[in-house]
């Protein structure tokens, strides 16, 4: 029995849910008001003790097991939930190696040191004379006492050794203070306080564990303006987001994350009720940060100030991110980088601009409704770039039109979705007031008398009915891998998948849906596991996988970054992914046939049959996929 199964066996779902939800028995099940949305009239939240699951039949329309309940309720990921429930159930998870345990013990000691540092800096802010200036500054920025306490803000004295003296007196070594990032090491040995005469912002990871500090100057003559903890075993600014431990539940609730620039921006927005805001701690927003945010929501908005979003900065950011900025902590707008992340993560990244000269905290303190409207007006990255360039450069000069098109078209080609690419090209053409064909290399219909039309080679990107990208094989391989990843978790999902396919008059699932030889071999093994009856399918897979496929199997069976899906979500994801995969293959066939159509027109009508068949397949698969996108399947 796995640890997860053992935990489910030991913890009664009714007892767990009853800790926070008032339930009453109805037949063999229990009902109550859903804790995830406002409802006081009709109880729509049902707990099923027999299956150990729950479901909301109201606004949420979600369900799951004890893991899913806690993940949604607390905003935890699967690993955090597993640890909590294991402790609650008395299940011992796999013990780490002695070396790993020693390393973890050292990390916990460093975190303990940082927790004590939070108390130390808060005392300096609230209880000491030098801290009064820092406290007055925070109050001047509009922060209430309860907000200052909630975010645990503090003050670092202007001394070179005050913190060092205090913590060595509590039994911490100079080496531990250096490892925690609180001391800067001297070349001749020893160290001195890294943070001096600064407002201190404790930085916690997504689980709320202390990782380091951010610090802002009080004396305008000090440099740099912002100073973070250095890279340490527990502080990696490329993986952390300030305020996430407080924002992740609101992000889940609102299904949207807003990324702003500074610590004080995050704090002021939370104080005003916009608690789905976080901030990076460097000059670039990393894919690791976006990937972690995606655990809570796929919808993300990047809020730029007017300076960072100017036309020159935008155009510089189209190719490479700015590595050196005029002021520390400024968000980088790297349009191509953000688009690539958006495609890889399958997220919805949008951009919005603040009024000139104002930061988010200025806006929200002046008028919360103004901030709400700014966020509601966020635009997709490509739209933001084209409209920003058009507004700043104008579109009357033909050379300017050409310059804008040259900047924006590469971005459009980076968009993975063919429908979106087509829509963006149409929008750019309308914005520049030109014929859309000028953007895709097609000659205008009107030709000068006596001149020979220019022959344009058919474009291979985009091509087909929806403009397939040139990296179709990579897309197909990724979809194939995802299908297998889901099936290896529940091979019997094939039966549900086949019912959906047959209801749309489509062929059953088979290894022929895959082009990769290794993927096809694993798909064949999955089908064999269902055809035999001697052992459970998962055991059959483990016992019969070839040595050459074992590494791939381990990769496909690795824990998903967003947590394990419940059966309904797994089935739904599997149906959508396979339909998209088939649509991709049909599109590729249509694309190839399209370029042959002119030659085929001169041949017998039967020669067009493959093309007509592909068109029929396209219509069938596309119709089923559109239906799948509009609703979620309800599986028994």
Confidence band, pLDDT 50/70/90 cuts, at residue 1 = low
pLDDT of residue 618: 64
Say yes or no to pLDDT of 256 above 90. yes
Closest CA to 343 of 399, 287, 383, 292: 287
What is the rounded average pLDDT of the residues 521-529?
Answer: 89
Output the pLDDT for position 253. Answer: 83
pLDDT value of position 319: 42
- For CA atoms 417, 418, 423, 429, give the dihedral sign: positive
Predicted local confidence at residue 449, as pLDDT: 41
- Give the CA count within 13 Å in the CB-facing half-sphere of 34: 20
Beta strands 45-48 and 53-56 are antiparallel
- Cα(415)–Cα(587) distance, integer angstroms: 17
The answer, as to whether pTM is greater than 0.85, is no
Strand partners of residue 318: none
What mean pLDDT comes out for the span 413-423? 86
Average pLDDT value for residue range 90-107: 78
| Max mean pLDDT range (234-243, 411-420, 544-553) | 234-243
Prior bond of 172 cis (ω within 30°)? no
Residue pair 195/181 in contact (Cβ under 8 Å)? The answer is no
Give the integer Cα–Cα distance in Å for 343 and 382: 13
pLDDT of residue 64: 85
Q: Which helix (H) or strand (E) holds 554?
A: helix 547-557
Confidence of residue 331 (pLDDT cuts 50, 70, 90): low
For 345, what's the count of Cα atoms within 13 Å in the CB-facing half-sphere? Answer: 26
CB contact at 8 A, 413 and 422: no
The helix-helix angle for 244-254 and 263-271 (nearest 10°) equals 50
How many CB atoms are located within 10 Å of the residue 136 CB?
Answer: 11
Report pLDDT digits (tens) over 369-395.
999 999 999 999 999 999 988 888 888
Which range has the worst mean pLDDT, 78-82, 232-236, 467-471? 467-471
Yes or no: say if 284 and 334 are a contact pair by the CB < 8 Å rule: yes
Give CA 16 to chain center in angstroms: 29
What pLDDT, on a 0 to 100 scale, did the predictor assign at position 551?
75
Within a 13 Å sphere around the CA of 433, how many CA atoms are in the beta-carbon half? 7
The residues, any chain, with a CB within 8 Å of residue 118's CB and separated by 6 or more, are 152, 154, 202, 210
Cβ atoms within 10 Å, residue 522? 26
Query: Which neighbouring-strand residues pair with 191?
Result: 185
Backbone phi and psi for residue 156, each to the nearest 5 degrees, phi listed first:
-95, 125
Average pLDDT of every residue of the chain: 81
Structure-block tokens of residue 621: 């698969």
Asked if pLDDT for residue 611 goes beyond 70, the answer is no
Give the pLDDT band (50/70/90) at residue 629: low
Rounded CA-CA distance 257/303 in Å is 11
534 vs 365 pLDDT, higher one: 365
pLDDT the model gives residue 332:
59
- Please state, in angstroms and rounded to a whole number, the distance separating the CA atoms of residues 78 and 305: 35
Could you tell me which residue, 180 or 614, shows the higher pLDDT? 180
| Mean pLDDT confidence for 266-290 | 89
- Kindly report which listed range (311-325, 337-351, 430-444) carries the lowest average pLDDT score: 311-325
> What is the per-residue pLDDT for 301?
94
- Sketch out the chain's domains with CATH numbers: 3-89 (3.90.580.10), 103-228 (3.90.980.10), 237-442 (3.40.1360.10), 472-630 (1.10.860)
| SS3 assignment, position 297 | coil
Distance CA 278, CA 499 (A): 43
**pLDDT over threshold 80, residue 307:** no
Q: Quick: pLDDT tens for 348-367.
A: 899 998 988 899 999 999 99
What is the average per-residue pLDDT within 409-433? Answer: 89
> Does the pLDDT of residue 476 top 70, yes or no?
yes
Query: Tens digit of pLDDT for each residue in 58-73?
Result: 888 788 889 989 988 8
| pLDDT greater at residue 532 or residue 612 | 532
Give the pLDDT of residue 463.
36
**Distance between first and last Cα of the chain:** 25
pLDDT value, residue 631: 56
Given this model, what pLDDT does residue 511 score? 86
The confidence score (pLDDT) of residue 466 equals: 35
- Which of 36-40, 236-240, 319-323, 621-625 comes out lowest in average pLDDT? 319-323
Question: How confident is the model over 473-479, as a mean pLDDT?
Answer: 75
Q: What is the pLDDT of residue 327?
A: 34
Residue 59, phi then psi, degrees to nearest 5: -60, -40
Q: What angle do CA 306, 345, 361 make, to 5 degrees?
A: 30
Percent residues over pLDDT 90 in the chain = 34
pLDDT more than 70, % of the chain:
81
Closest by alpha carbon to 45, among 596, 376, 36?
A: 36
Per the listing, tokens 């496929």 go with: 549
pLDDT attached to residue 457 = 37
Secondary structure of 435-478 in HEC code, one letter for each residue: CHHHHCCCCCCCCCCCCCCCCCCCCCCCECCCCECCCHHHHHHH
Q: Which pLDDT value is given to residue 200?
A: 98
Residue of 323, 113, 147 whose CA lies nearest to 229: 113
Dig out the tokens for 75 from the structure: 């905003």
Sign of CA dihedral 278, 281, 285, 287: negative
């Amino acid at each position: 029995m796995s640890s997860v199964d053992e935990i489910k066996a030991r913890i009664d779902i009714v007892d767990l849910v009853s800790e926070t939800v008032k339930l009453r028995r109805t037949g063999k099940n229990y009902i109550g008001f859903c804790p995830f949305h406002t409802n006081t009239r009709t109880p729509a939240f049902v707990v099923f003790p027999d299956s150990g699951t729950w479901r909301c039949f109201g606004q949420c329309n979600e369900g799951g097991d004890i893991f899913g309940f806690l993940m949604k309720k607390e905003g935890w990921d699967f690993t955090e939930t597993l640890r909590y429930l294991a402790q609650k159930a008395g299940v011992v998870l796999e013990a780490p190696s002695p070396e790993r345990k020693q390393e973890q013990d050292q990390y916990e000691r460093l975190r303990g040191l940082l927790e004590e540092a939070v108390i130390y800096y808060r005392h300096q802010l609230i209880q000491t004379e030098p801290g009064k200036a820092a406290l007055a500054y925070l109050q001047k920025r509009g922060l209430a006492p309860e907000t200052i306490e909630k975010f645990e803000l503090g003050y670092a004295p202007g001394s070179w050794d005050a913190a060092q003296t205090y913590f060595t007196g509590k039994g911490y070594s100079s080496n531990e203070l250096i490892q925690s990032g609180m001391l800067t090491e001297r070349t001749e040995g020893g160290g001195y306080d890294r943070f001096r005469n600064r407002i201190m912002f404790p930085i916690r990871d997504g689980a709320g564990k202390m990782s380091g500090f951010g610090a802002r100057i009080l004396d305008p003559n000090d440099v740099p303006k912002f100073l973070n903890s250095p890279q340490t075993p527990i502080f990696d600014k490329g993986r952390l987001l300030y305020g996430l431990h407080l924002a992740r539940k609101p992000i889940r609730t609102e299904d949207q994350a807003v990324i702003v620039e500074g610590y004080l921006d995050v704090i002021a927005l939370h104080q005003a009720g916009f608690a789905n805001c976080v901030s990076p701690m460097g000059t670039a927003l990393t894919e690791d940060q976006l990937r972690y945010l995606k655990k809570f929501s796929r919808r993300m908005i990047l809020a730029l100030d007017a300076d960072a979003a100017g036309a020159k900065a935008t155009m510089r950011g189209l190719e490479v991110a700015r590595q050196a900025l005029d002021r520390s902590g400024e968000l980088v707008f790297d349009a191509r980088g953000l688009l690539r992340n958006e495609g890889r993560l399958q997220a919805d990244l949008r951009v919005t601009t603040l009024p000139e000269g104002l930061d988010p905290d200025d806006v929200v303190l002046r008028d919360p409704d103004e901030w709400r409207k700014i966020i509601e007006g966020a635009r997709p990255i490509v739209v933001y770039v084209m409209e920003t360039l058009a507004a700043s450069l104008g579109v009357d000069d033909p050379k300017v039109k050409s310059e804008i098109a040259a900047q924006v078209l590469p971005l459009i080609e980076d968009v993975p979705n063919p429908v979106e690419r087509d829509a963006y090209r149409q929008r750019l053409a309308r914005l520049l007031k030109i014929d859309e064909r000028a953007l895709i290399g097609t000659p205008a219909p009107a030709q000068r008398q006596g001149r020979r039309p220019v022959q344009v080679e058919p474009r291979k990107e985009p091509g087909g009915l929806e403009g397939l990208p040139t990296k179709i094989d990579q897309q197909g391989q990724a979809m194939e891998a995802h299908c297998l990843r889901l099936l290896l978790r529940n091979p019997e999902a094939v039966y549900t998948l086949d019912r959906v396919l047959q209801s749309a008059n489509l062929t059953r699932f088979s290894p022929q849906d895959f082009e990769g030889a290794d993927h096809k071999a694993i798909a064949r093994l999955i089908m064999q596991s269902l055809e035999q009856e001697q052992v459970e399918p998962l055991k059959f897979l483990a016992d019969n996988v070839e040595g050459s496929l074992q590494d791939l199997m381990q990769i496909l069976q690795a824990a998903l970054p967003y947590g394990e899906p419940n059966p309904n979500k797994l089935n739904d994801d599997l149906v959508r992914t396979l339909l998209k995969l088939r649509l991709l293959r049909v599109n590729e066939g249509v694309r190839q046939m399209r370029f042959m159509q002119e030659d085929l027109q001169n041949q017998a009508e039967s020669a067009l049959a493959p093309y007509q068949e592909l068109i029929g397949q396209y219509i069938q698969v596309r119709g089923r996929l559109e239906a799948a996108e509009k609703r979620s399947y309800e599986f028994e």
